[in-house]
């Protein structure tokens, strides 16, 4: 199939031909004729980088009136970067429409400049939710008559906390608009928006819901947690032509990993929330033009970064949410190219790998971290390959050849090759000559920790202690919120938290033993959050106070007494047991009625 078969206008076909568009990608093949020929709404599920902007941009351009100066299409995007990218793509698609204007509006930019751009209403407005609401309040933007509403990267917008903003915006749009929702995953929050604001719609899915991209290979390496950085270096060294993103959990970890890589001679930099917008733009631009080989980033900082040629995505830490992993891995393997998603894990994270496999419907390959000899061999062959393929400019180099021959004439062919290779190769030989084996065998790890499933409380950097706090799902706790609490309480974002479990009333997590004192001291200042270790063989358990101070203990005692009284008697003086039986009977009847 070709784009000509869709019946697109000549202006559109001319523009996309100049851009190098030949045949439509799967999401485009399905959505373009649907949007042109059908009057319904659309929910499209596809991975990032599969051509979604053209999937909604080309068919909507076909139906806009360039002679009418009002906002006819509104595109919502989660980040400044994605907003700019979508705007530029739409401008390229519509370059041969003489009167059609595309305007992006987003936070972090001078609002006066954006207000001037809106003096004449554009036909297409691309916006981030926060800035759009601000402009609507200023009466500078009117979205009450739009034809098309596009929610791009909808799951990302919800992850960033824009749910209320999106609802506010949608409620200002007309009832007869057509809504196109594009998302890589389908969490329940997206389903809620679909059911509430989209009545007659079609769902188009390229691949399975929440599934990983087809051309991405998923690999994991198992190491001790303290050896993560050493493992990262070997993975990078084993792939000399790597061009990828290293995802870390916190800003502090991002800074530290990037600093270590740069100090060790790697072409890397960091992208995190502490950067100013000019600094962020500078780092992203260097990465886009491949002046950087590795970008170390948090998930939030990397949102909106659009690069099509990534060879690797490396999970320095696995994310707590499977949907976040789907977004990370989807950044490689774009535009029909192959890519690799690498995860560096320790033994207690194997269950996360299994959980991700079930959701994305892909199998992970457990790989062995290469030894020093394998890395050196790969680097040497890469160097030789570069030499074989280098372009020789005879005119420039010939004048120097007589003197070069004279200097090297005393060396044999074999010695010349050895010296030539050693120039680049000596530093790898020196570094890896005594390299240790970083791989962990599962059986050996269990022998160290004792019985299968038993949590270690013994001293040692690589071992952890299990902690419990008195906050759980009923308090609105999630893994992300728990991590935020730990970071804020300790004021140390380098704390490594593992194996998080959220129950209805409690939350559990693991901490390295060399960080236990820091955790206990920090939480001892907390009044509302009670922390205690739960490891059976941890001597701290008996000495740890159940409550942090007398006031907290007394409050807890009074609370128990009150509950005991309420359980024994209801307001009419009925016995507690009879009252409880009555409540159980009522619950049973309600459940029976639902069935």
- Look at residue 267 in the predicted model and tell me its pLDDT: 92
| Residues of the chain under the 50 pLDDT cut | 210, 443-461, 535-556, 558-560, 562-575
As beta bridge partners, residue 149 has 74, 179
| Backbone phi and psi for residue 430, each to the nearest 5 degrees, phi listed first | -65, -45
- At the second CATH level, the architecture of 3-205 is 3-Layer(aba) Sandwich (3.40)
pLDDT tens across 546-563, in order? Answer: 333 343 444 445 444 544
Dihedral angle computed from the Cα positions of residues 303, 482, 233 and 244, in that order, rounded to the nearest 10 degrees? -10
Among candidate residues 116, 119, 90, 83, the one with its CA nearest the CA of residue 16? 90
User: 53 by DSSP, 3-state: which?
Assistant: helix
State how far the Cα of 151 lies from the Cα of 201, in Å rounded to an integer. Answer: 14
Token pair listed for 379:
């680097």
Among candidate residues 492, 544, 539, 554, the one with its CA nearest the CA of residue 518? 492
Let me know how long the chain is.
Answer: 595
**CATH of region 216-369:** 3.40.50.300
Hey, where are the domains in the chain? 3-205, 216-369, 373-432, 442-548, 551-594
Half-sphere exposure of 357 (CA within 13 A, CB side): 14
Lookup result for tokens 């059609």: 100
Going edge to edge, which strands form the sheet with 124-127? 102-105, 124-127, 73-76, 148-151, 178-183, 41-45, 201-205
Among candidate residues 535, 540, 534, 502, the one with its CA nearest the CA of residue 521? 540
- Look at residue 538 in the predicted model and tell me its pLDDT: 39
- Look at residue 213 in the predicted model and tell me its pLDDT: 59
Q: What is the pTM of this model?
A: 0.55
- Look at residue 259 in the predicted model and tell me its pLDDT: 94
| Backbone phi and psi for residue 511, each to the nearest 5 degrees, phi listed first | -135, 140
Q: What is the DSSP letter of 391?
A: P
- Look at residue 578 in the predicted model and tell me its pLDDT: 57
State how far the Cα of 531 lies from the Cα of 468, in Å rounded to an integer. Answer: 6
- Look at residue 262 in the predicted model and tell me its pLDDT: 93
Q: Do domains 3-205 and 216-369 have the same CATH topology?
A: yes
- Strand pairing of 294-297 and 268-271? parallel
Task: Give the distance from CA 401 to its chain's centroid.
Answer: 52
- Look at residue 376 in the predicted model and tell me its pLDDT: 83
- Look at residue 593 in the predicted model and tell me its pLDDT: 66
Contact status, residue 138 vs residue 110, Cβ threshold 8 Å: no
Contact status, residue 325 vs residue 360, Cβ threshold 8 Å: yes
The answer to whether domain 442-548 has CATH 3.30.70.330 is: yes
């Amino acid at each position: 199939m070709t784009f000509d078969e869709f019946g697109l206008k000549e202006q559109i076909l001319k523009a996309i031909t100049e851009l190098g568009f030949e045949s439509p990608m799967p999401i485009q093949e399905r959505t373009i004729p649907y949007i042109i020929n059908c009057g319904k709404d659309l929910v499209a599920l596809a991975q990032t980088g599969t051509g979604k902007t053209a999937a909604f941009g080309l068919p909507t351009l076909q139906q806009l009136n360039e002679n009418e100066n009002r906002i006819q299409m509104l595109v919502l995007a989660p980040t400044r970067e994605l907003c700019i990218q979508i705007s530029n793509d739409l401008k390229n698609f519509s370059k041969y429409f003489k009167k059609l204007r595309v305007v992006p509006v987003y936070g972090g930019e001078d609002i006066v400049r954006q207000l001037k751009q809106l003096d004449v209403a554009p036909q297409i407005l691309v916006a981030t939710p926060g800035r759009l609401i601000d402009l609507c309040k200023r009466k500078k933007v009117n979205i009450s008559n739009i034809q098309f509403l596009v929610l791009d990267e909808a799951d990302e917008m919800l992850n960033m906390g824009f749910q209320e903003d999106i609802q506010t915006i949608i409620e200002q749009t007309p009832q007869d608009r057509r809504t196109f929702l594009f998302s890589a995953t389908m969490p329940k929050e997206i389903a809620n928006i679909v059911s509430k604001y989209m009545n007659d719609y079609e769902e188009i899915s390229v691949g399975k819901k929440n599934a990983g991209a087809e051309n991405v290979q998923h690999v994991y390496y198992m190491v001790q947690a303290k050896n993560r950085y050493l493992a990262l270096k070997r993975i990078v060294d084993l792939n000399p032509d790597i061009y990828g993103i290293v995802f870390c959990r916190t800003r502090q970890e991002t800074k530290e990993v990037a600093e270590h890589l740069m100090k060790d001679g790697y072409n890397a930099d960091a992208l995190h929330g502490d950067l100013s917008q000019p600094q962020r733009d500078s780092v992203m631009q260097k990465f886009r033009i491949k002046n950087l080989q590795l970008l170390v980033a948090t998930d939030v900082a990397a949102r909106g970064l659009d690069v099509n040629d990534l060879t690797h995505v490396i999970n320095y830490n696995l994310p707590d949410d499977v949907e976040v992993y789907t977004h990370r891995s989807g950044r490689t393997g774009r535009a029909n190219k192959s890519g690799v998603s690498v995860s560096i894990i320790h033994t207690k994270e194997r269950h996360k790998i299994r959980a991700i496999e079930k959701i994305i419907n892909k199998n992970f390959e457990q790989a062995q971290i290469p030894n020093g000899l394998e890395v050196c061999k790969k680097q040497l062959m890469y160097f030789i390959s570069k030499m074989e393929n280098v372009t020789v400019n005879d005119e420039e180099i010939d004048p120097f050849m007589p003197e070069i021959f004279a200097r090297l004439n005393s060396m044999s062919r074999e010695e010349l090759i050895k010296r030539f290779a050693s120039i680049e190769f000596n530093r790898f030989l020196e570094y890896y000559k005594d390299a240790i084996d970083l791989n962990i065998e599962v059986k050996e790890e269990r022998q160290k920790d004792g019985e299968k499933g038993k949590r270690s409380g013994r001293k040692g950097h690589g071992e952890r202690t299990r902690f419990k706090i008195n906050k759980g799902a009923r308090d609105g706790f999630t893994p992300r919120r728990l991590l935020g609490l730990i970071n804020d309480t300790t004021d140390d974002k380098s704390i490594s938290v593992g194996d998080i479990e959220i129950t209805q009333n409690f939350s559990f997590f693991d901490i390295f033993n060399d960080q236990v004192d820091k955790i206990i001291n920090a939480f001892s200042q907390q009044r509302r959050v009670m922390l205690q270790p739960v490891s059976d063989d941890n001597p701290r358990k008996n000495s740890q106070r159940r409550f942090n101070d007398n006031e907290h203990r007394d409050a807890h005692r009074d609370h128990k007494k009150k509950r005991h009284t309420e359980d024994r008697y209801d307001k009419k003086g009925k016995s507690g047991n009879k009252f409880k039986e009555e409540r159980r009977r009522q619950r049973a009847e309600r459940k029976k009625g639902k069935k």
